[in-house]
Amino acid sequence: MAEFLTASRFYFEAQGLEQKIIKEVAGLGVESTPAQEVHGSSKGGMATRQATPTVSKFTNITLKLVATTDIDLYKWYEDCNKNMGGKSNWTSKRKLGSVSAYDQAGNMQARWEIENCYPCKYTGPTLTASSGDMATETIELVHEGIKRVQ
């Protein structure tokens, strides 16, 4: 029987961005919505219909992290999204990323690779004086593909 994966042992990393405390990863998805319209009419007036594959769509990936004094994820967002009079460095700032899931012994059991990702949204923490929760930051990543490789 295959190893069961728990939802609580995982990690996200991207080239040069490591050792983060990841609270949540969401949006590891891809979909190919088929074209299902009537394509024409055939002899006897019969409608011709066929489900045809179309372009794959990838959902944005949302990372929720425990906020620390480290600002390199925010810096990555800023570097990719500066408005520099129509010129931007975002293409050179894209990174290969991955999400890995681990078993109870700490061995990697599943891995999703994320192609050419970069942050398109940053949300800072909600700070509440009466809260005992850790402050969190959220980064939303856009990407060019996701693939489960293990």
* DSSP-assigned states of every residue in 3-61: PPPPTTSEEEEETTB-S--EEEEE---EE-PPB-SEEEEEGGGEEEE--B----EEPPE
Name which residue leads in pLDDT, 73 or 53.
73
pTM, two decimals, is: 0.80
Least confident of 22-26, 58-62, 85-89, 139-143: 85-89
Question: In 3-state terms, what secondary structure has residue 67?
Answer: coil
Question: Which region, left, alpha or beta, applies to residue 116 given φ > 0 means left and ψ of -120 to 50 means alpha?
Answer: left
pLDDT at site 85: 59
pLDDT at site 87: 65
* Token pair 């074209």 in the structure block, residue: 35
Q: Does residue 60 surpass a pLDDT of 90?
A: yes
Q: Does residue 88 surpass a pLDDT of 70?
A: no
Going by C-alpha positions, the residue among 16, 2, 7, 1 that lies closest to residue 117 is: 16
Domain extent listing, the chain: 10-30+59-148
Q: What is the pLDDT of residues 25-55, one digit of tens each?
A: 999 988 887 777 776 777 887 777 777 777 8
Going by C-alpha positions, the residue among 83, 91, 80, 100 that lies closest to residue 9 is: 100
Least confident of 6-20, 40-54, 128-142: 40-54
Query: Dmax of the chain from CA atoms?
Result: 74
